[in-house]
Each structure stands twice: as structure tokens, then as C-alpha cells.
Amino acid sequence: MTMSFKGTPSRRAFLKGAVAAGGTVASAGAASAAGDPLITEVQEWASATGEGVDATPYGLPISYESDVVRRNVEWLTADTISSINFTPIHALDGTITPQGCAFERHHSGAIDLKKEDYRLMINGLVDQPLVFTYEDLERFPRENRVYFCECAANTGMEWAGAQLNGAQFTHGMIHNMEYSGIPLRTLLEEAGVQTEGKWVYVEGADASSNGRSIPLEKAMDDVLVAFKANGEALRKEHGYPVRLVVPGWEGNMWIKWLRRIEVTTQAIESREETSKYTDTLANGIARKWTWEMDAKSVVTSPSPQAPIKHGHGPLVITGLAWSGRGAITGVDVSVDGGKTWQEARLGAPGQDKALSRFYLDYNWQGEEMFLQSRAKDSTGYVQPTKTQLRDVRGLNSIYHNNCIQTWWVKSNGEAENVEVS
Amino acid sequence: MTMSFKGTPSRRAFLKGAVAAGGTVASAGAASAAGDPLITEVQEWASATGEGVDATPYGLPISYESDVVRRNVEWLTADTISSINFTPIHALDGTITPQGCAFERHHSGAIDLKKEDYRLMINGLVDQPLVFTYEDLERFPRENRVYFCECAANTGMEWAGAQLNGAQFTHGMIHNMEYSGIPLRTLLEEAGVQTEGKWVYVEGADASSNGRSIPLEKAMDDVLVAFKANGEALRKEHGYPVRLVVPGWEGNMWIKWLRRIEVTTQAIESREETSKYTDTLANGIARKWTWEMDAKSVVTSPSPQAPIKHGHGPLVITGLAWSGRGAITGVDVSVDGGKTWQEARLGAPGQDKALSRFYLDYNWQGEEMFLQSRAKDSTGYVQPTKTQLRDVRGLNSIYHNNCIQTWWVKSNGEAENVEVS
């Protein structure tokens, strides 16, 4: 059913094969060009000047891309202040998420905090409590790293069954950016962690403060106190001017508007790590703490918001994969609901705790598909099915649903969120 | 003069050392916290809710960052239609350039071209001329790669001496993005290049058409027909919906609004590769073709637009380095106008034909500096001084000035573009 694009003696077979097989890649070929006014006539855009270089000091997407935006789901939360919106992953490619359409999750809304008003305190079990201004932070040695940030609740609605119709809504609480910041280790060493200090409690400057406890081992490992993302200042909605980056761990711990870091002997057991961000199992016992985001993947196109609009023949099946425990080493794709699998191509070698893009170049002849993807990471872990996950975790959880997602692609190219048993 | 941050027994020496040496990292320490109302009083942003998740479907930078924008220089060109603006590299960190502030260079302005109206023709010495719609292109196997794009005229004003006061203006005709696109090779193989075909002539849909000739060897190597940058659609000003990505080669060849690819026996010798984009030597003979961008670097901070505003002590010296011939293997920094050099730290291992970020963590005691950086690439090439470059190329060139840049940093922290002999 599939055709290989690699090693094909003549790649010209690509579109011709599609046409021969009943495809409709209509405009490819000189014949169609002859009657196409877009080819045979001089167009307006080729006969007049366009916009000058002073038009947009800071540019936005062209108006035709106005559907590639974050969206929230009104019924999901009581208000928009303690709420979520979703990255339009169905419409993106590559791995970097532009800040402008990267998901938001606030607990009391996005606050407006100037650099001049910014302070970061380190206190608790330290030799010397410290308070840093933004300018102070700019003087410490920096790192640059690309990491994904995923809300623990991403895909959470799917525990109860196929709920939300679109990859943006089922898997869009994720983004992937290049951060510039200071290793938290550097600041903690500056204050001098005392031997009894085994945890840090981190909180934000917003009203919710959203405090979380992080074991010292992680704090001293790869956590960043970040002030830039994708080269420029963090956006207001992502914690301007300073947020915590906790690679591979749930987004709730990536404290925005980072205000205070307290070194403690033990976890604080705050609201955000007891009644929230724990996972109730079938027997009523809650798993805590489930910091790491397990390996996961999703086909972003085709998908409910990105149906197949072209005819039969070549089809690019693409999606994203990630793991909070390491690098993605491979992604398998199934078109028959998990009965058989084919290895997809990674856009680039997997990077530690960052998104990977995968592609499967496929010859679609209009058959119904039950499209799935399955991520594998550098620890040897393989993404589980929904049934496997429910068997272990029951149905009470909200967070950490990393099961295999299924899109039912119909013969008309439209897709729906479904479950396969 | 420098202090090492690595291997220091106690990192607490960092700020304390600065203070002891007469620095002014005033707020770091509990003493200052006691009297700081930003610490001792409940702030407005911690006692009220912020903005909801429905506020900005597509976000922009916070208002406090309104100076981080593209800028054009009015006297540089006769109008803004055939002109340039510059990336604010002095204010960015990391390596990715956000599309919103990535430089523009147009020859007849940025045109408005819908995906539905888009056509790409491949003709000339091919077995089968082809015309692709945008939808056709979406069906071909894709790649993802990060590449820099530099205008050949970047730093061109510096041939005549230190002209423009700011890294944005001397070196800001560069950006670095993750592209998703189809290898041009794939499309050429689809059309079937005939044995006499040795070059491709590529042109855009804008009025200038900006045609350039590319040897078939390069066209079949790493050139991409790209439709996404940093995950999302190309911006209008960067060639929406489709541009050519010609890794490591001058930006003028990265045809925007890509319209046609003609396979030819030889170079077309178009305006853009004869009277323009060639380099006149001292003897009046023009070098052609100078496609590759030689290894180059610049300190982005401190720099004229990014003076040192803090006191003595720790200072992060940072900048960008790149090479069109391979990966950056190292960057040296000099504070004495090139008499002595220290190896900077790369933010990440150098990637082929992509920007590298470098850092030198420095202990500044208010002394005047003649700050320079020197890039080295994987071919063994070392970035030359201005004198070395002028000795070989004379003073008539406009393009391909990759000489070492000097910022004179004064004892008050302000910086100026200067030349050192």
C-alpha cells in the first residue's frame, strides 16, 4: 500500500504515479499551465510595487493565516483567568513554536511586570539570602537550550474517551522554544545551599503564586532561570520578564514571573502538588509526584482540523513526538489502528527533552484509515495504547495521559477523534 | 584581568567578588531586600487577576520591548521599496530569529500573494515541464533545517570605515530560522533534468523578479523550496507562501515568492549577478560569483545600542558567529583590539550554515576596551581583520565584508563603532 520515496529509480514516478493511480494532482504538467491565467497572464503582484521595509517594524502573520491562532475551549474552565488555550499544532510544521501562538495556562491571569519592578529572592536554607534585580541576572553566565513545555493536563480529556475533535485541543498544551537563561544551579551556589537543604520551593509573582516543590537534585541539574525564548524576550503570557524552565517536567512547575526560590528540607505539599497535579488511581490512592512527562506523540496532519483536501496519491503524514525522559529515537505510524506499524522519518535526530518532527510519505488511495503514532525514547520506553494506560491508571486521572491517539480518516479525507479497542 | 567561572571553588565569589572590587550589584543581598518596597510590600500584580487566555489569539511582544524592532536607515536607499531593514541583533539572545523582527530586503516591495494564486513552474531543459500549485507542494517529502540567511551587503558600509553605530546596522542583515520545505532536488528530479542542464535560473513573482543563476550541483545538494519558518507560514515580507532557501549562500539568491525555475546550460548573467552582487577589486576587475558567505562574527552586547549600564564586575560579552562554508568550531574574543585573544564559550555545538551564539564571562573593572570577535569554521578558515580584507579586495566592494568588527567600549560603558589599525 505504501510507496517508498527513497531509492526510487526515477522520482518522476511521484506525481505521475499519483495521476496514473487515479489521483488529481491536476495542475502539475505543462498541459494545465497552458490554460491557467495565473501562468499565462501578467498578474497584479508582478506589475506593481509591494510594501516598503518601513511598513512593519515588528511583523505579524499575513492575513490569510488568521486561523493559525491559539484557541481556548469555553466550557472547559469556569473563566478565562484560570484557564488554558491551545497551540495550533495542526497547522504548524518543524519543531520550533512561535511565541505568538504558543499555548498559555494561567492560574490567575497573565500579569504585567516591568523589568525595573522585577525581583527574584533566594532564601531559606542558604548561607546568604539574596535578591536579584533583572539587571543582576543579566550578568550571570548563560546557556541556550531548546526544550518542550507540556501542561500535565494535555490530552487529559481523553481519559474518558474521544472528546475533543482536533490535535490543537487534544495535544495543543505544548510548545517548544529555544531558551536563554542562567542555570538555577549557578544562583543557588551563589547563595550557598546548606547541607539540610534538599528541596527548593519556587513561586511566581502573580496572585496565584502557583508554588511548587522541586528536589534539589533536579534544581542543580538542568533547570534554567530563563529570560528569552526563541531569541527575544519572553512574552507577557509566558512569564515576562523571567520564568523557570524545568526540562522534561510538567508545565505547571515552569513558574512564570518567577519571584522566589526557597531552599527547604522537604516538599511544601502545596495546593498545586496535592489536590492538583497528582493522579488518582482506580483504588483511590493518588500517585505523587508525577513530574516527568512520558514519551508521547500525535499525528498533526491529517487530523480533524487538517483534513486531506487533495486527491488520491502522495500524502504527507506528519506529527510531533517528545519525551521528558530523554530524546526521541523513533516514531512508528499505523494506518490500521495499531495492527501494523511503519517507521516514520524524523526531521532531525532527536534532542533531549525537545520536540521531534516526524514524517511518513504515504500513497493514499482513498481508503479509510485509523491513523496512529507511537513514540520511542532513549530510555527504551514505548508510548502505550489508551487501553494499556487505563489498565494501569484507571479512569480517575486528569494528568499525564500519554496514550496513543487515533484519528479516523474517512474516504472523503475528513478526520475524527475516535477510540479503537 | 578575566576571572574563570568554571571550577571556582565557591561560586558565591561571583557577586561578592564584584562588590569587593568596587562593583555596584546593589540589590543582591538580604540587606538591600529589607528596604526594598518591591520585596516588603504586596504589589498590584500579586493582588489582582491578570489577562485571560482569550486576550491574544496571536500574541505580540509586551509593550516594554517596543524598541526590539526592525529598523531601516533612511539615507541608505532612495526609497523603502527597494531597500533594507535590519534585525535588532543587539537585543536578541540565543540563535533563532523570530520572524517578526527578522530583516527584510526587497527589490520592489513585499507582495501579497495568496496560496490559491500561487504557481511554481519548472521549465527549460527538463523532460517534462511542470507547474505546481501550493497544494501540490504540500504533498512532497519534506525536510526541516535551521539555516542563517545573510544579505551579501551586510557590513558593506564598513568597507569605507566605521560608518554605522550599532550591531543592528552593521551586522543586522541576517536571520536564522528553522525551515520546513522540499529539497529542490526532489522537484527537479520530478521534471527530469536533461544532460545538457547545468544551471537553474530562479525568479520570484514580484515585479523585480530578482532572477539568479545557481549551478545544478548546488541546486541538487541542500537547496530547499520552503513554506514554513520557525514552525509557521513564511511571513509576507519573507516570501509568503514559498521562498527558496540556499544554505550558506548570499541572501539575494534566496528568491522570495518563488515563481519559476528554469534549467539552463549556463548562467543567465542577470542584472542581479553582474552589475549587482559582484565585487569590484582594486584593479577594476570584478570577482564573480561570490555566492558563499565567509565565516564572520560580531559582538552583539556590549555594543553601541547595548551599552554596559551596570557597574564594575561580572559582564556577559556575547555575540553571533556563522559560516556559509560549514559549522562554527570556535570564536575568540579580544578586549584589546586584537592584540590578545581568549576563547569564548559556544551556546551549543556549531551547526552547518546556522548561527552560533558565543559568550565570554568577563570581569570588567571599568577599563576601556577595544572589543572584537573572530570566528573559526569547520574548513579551518579564520575570520580576517579589516586590513587583511582590504589588502586583498581593495576598497571598491560593496558585498562580502566579513572582517573583524571593533567596538570601543569606554569607561562609562558606552560603545562606539571604530577601526583599529
Same domain, A276 and A349: no
Q: Residue B277: which pLDDT band, with cuts at 50, 70 and 90?
A: very high
Chain B 8-37, residues with CB within 8 Å of chain A CB atoms? 10-12, 14-15, 18, 25, 27-30, 32-33, 36
Same domain, B130 and B102: yes
Contact B50 A110 (CB under 8 A): yes
B112: chain A residues, CB-CB within 8 Å: 45, 50-51, 62
pLDDT at A162: 84
Whole-number Å distance between alpha carbons of A10 and A403: 39
Is the CB of residue A196 less than 8 Å away from at least one CB of chain B? no
**Mind listing the pLDDT tens digit for each residue in A11-48?**
444 554 443 333 334 344 444 677 899 999 999 999 99
How large is the average pLDDT for residues B301-311? 97
Is the CB of residue A260 less than 8 Å away from at least one CB of chain B? no
Size of interface A-B (CB pairs under 8 A): 418
Residue type, B324: G
Same domain, A103 and A34: no
Same domain, B274 and B338: no
Are A334 and A407 in contact, with CB atoms under 8 Å apart?
A: no
Q: Does residue A128 sit within a domain? A: yes
Contact B131 A30 (CB under 8 A): yes
Same domain, A303 and A278: no
- The domain boundary, picked from B287, B304, B336, lies at B287
Q: Does residue B81 sit within a domain? A: yes
- Over 80: is that where the pLDDT of B85 sits? yes
- The domain boundary, picked from B287, B320, B336, lies at B287
A369 exposure class (CB count in 10 Å sphere: 0-12, 13-18, 19+): buried
Closest Cβ–Cβ partner in B15, B121, B310 for A39: B121
Whole-number Å distance between alpha carbons of B311 and B292: 41
B140: chain A residues, CB-CB within 8 Å: 14, 314, 316
Same domain, A142 and A239: yes
pLDDT at A22: 34
A36 exposure class (CB count in 10 Å sphere: 0-12, 13-18, 19+): middle
Is the CB of residue A352 less than 8 Å away from at least one CB of chain B? no
Residue of B nearest to A32 (CA): B131
Contact A51 B313 (CB under 8 A): no
Contact B45 A112 (CB under 8 A): yes
How large is the average pLDDT for residues B371-398? 96
Whole-number Å distance between alpha carbons of B399 and B279: 6
Bridge-partner residues for B261, per DSSP? Answer: B122, B202
SS3 B136: helix
pLDDT at A11: 40
Contact A72 B54 (CB under 8 A): yes
Nearest to B411 by CA among B373, B370, B380, B379: B370
Show the low-confidence residues of chain A (pLDDT under 50): 1-13, 16-31
pLDDT at B35: 84
Same domain, A229 and A134: yes
pLDDT at B316: 98
Task: Give the HSE-up count for residue B7: Cα atoms under 13 Å, Cβ half-sphere.
Answer: 2
Q: Provide the CATH number for the domain around residue A398.
A: 2.60.40.650
Are A136 and A66 in contact, with CB atoms under 8 Å apart?
A: no
Residue type, A73: V
pLDDT at A167: 98
Same domain, A308 and A393: yes
Nearest to B170 by CA among B405, B414, B399, B12: B405
Q: Residue B14: which pLDDT band, with cuts at 50, 70 and 90?
A: low
Nearest to B230 by CA among A322, A95, A231, A167: A95
A15: chain B residues, CB-CB within 8 Å: 130, 136, 190
Same domain, A185 and A140: yes
- Cell reading at A96: 520550533
Contact B15 A100 (CB under 8 A): no
The terminus-to-terminus CA distance of chain A in angstroms comes to 23
Q: What is the DSSP letter of A388?
A: H
pLDDT at B19: 37
3-state secondary structure B375-402: EEECCCCECCCHHHHHHHHCCCCCCCCC
* Ramachandran assignment for B326, one of left (phi > 0), alpha (psi -120 to 50 degrees), beta (any other): left
B105: chain A residues, CB-CB within 8 Å: 53
Closest Cβ–Cβ partner in B5, B190, B232 for A15: B190
Q: Residue B32: which pLDDT band, with cuts at 50, 70 and 90?
A: low
Residue of A131, A173, A209, A240 to mutate, testing the B interface (most B Cβ within 10 Å of its Cβ): A131
Are A205 and A259 in contact, with CB atoms under 8 Å apart?
A: yes
Q: Does residue A364 sit within a domain? A: yes
Same domain, A254 and A301: no
Contact A357 B25 (CB under 8 A): no
Q: Provide the CATH number for the domain around residue A214.
A: 3.90.420.10
Q: Does residue A153 sit within a domain? A: no
Same domain, A125 and A248: yes
- Over 60: is that where the pLDDT of B25 sits? no
**Mind listing the pLDDT tens digit for each residue in B147-191?**
999 999 999 999 988 889 999 999 999 999 999 999 999 999 999
B45: chain A residues, CB-CB within 8 Å: 111-113, 205-207, 257
Lowest mean pLDDT among A325-339, B217-231, B271-285, B351-365: B271-285
As for how many domains chain B has, the answer is 3
Residue of B nearest to A210 (CA): B46
Residue of B nearest to A83 (CA): B53
ipTM of the complex: 0.94
CA distance A294 to chain B (A): 23
pLDDT at A161: 87
Residue of A nearest to B33 (CA): A131
Provide the residue range defining the domain that includes B11: 1-41
Q: Does residue B52 sit within a domain? A: no
Q: Does residue A72 sit within a domain? A: no
Residue of B111, B230, B358, B363 to mutate, testing the A interface (most A Cβ within 10 Å of its Cβ): B230
- Over 70: is that where the pLDDT of B271 sits? yes
pLDDT at B26: 37
Residue type, B263: V
- The domain boundary, picked from B252, B287, B322, lies at B287
Q: Residue B54: which pLDDT band, with cuts at 50, 70 and 90?
A: very high
Is the CB of residue B129 less than 8 Å away from at least one CB of chain A? yes
Q: Does residue B47 sit within a domain? A: no
Same domain, B272 and B235: yes
**Mind listing the pLDDT tens digit for each residue in A123-138?**
999 999 999 999 999 9
Scan for cell 539574596, then name that residue: A130
Q: Does residue B59 sit within a domain? A: no
Is the CB of residue A191 less than 8 Å away from at least one CB of chain B? yes
pLDDT at A32: 64
**Mind listing the pLDDT tens digit for each residue in A332-341?**
999 999 999 9
Q: Residue B236: which pLDDT band, with cuts at 50, 70 and 90?
A: very high
- Over 80: is that where the pLDDT of B389 sits? yes
Chain B 70-99, residues with CB within 8 Å of chain A CB atoms? 70-72, 79-81, 83-85, 91-99
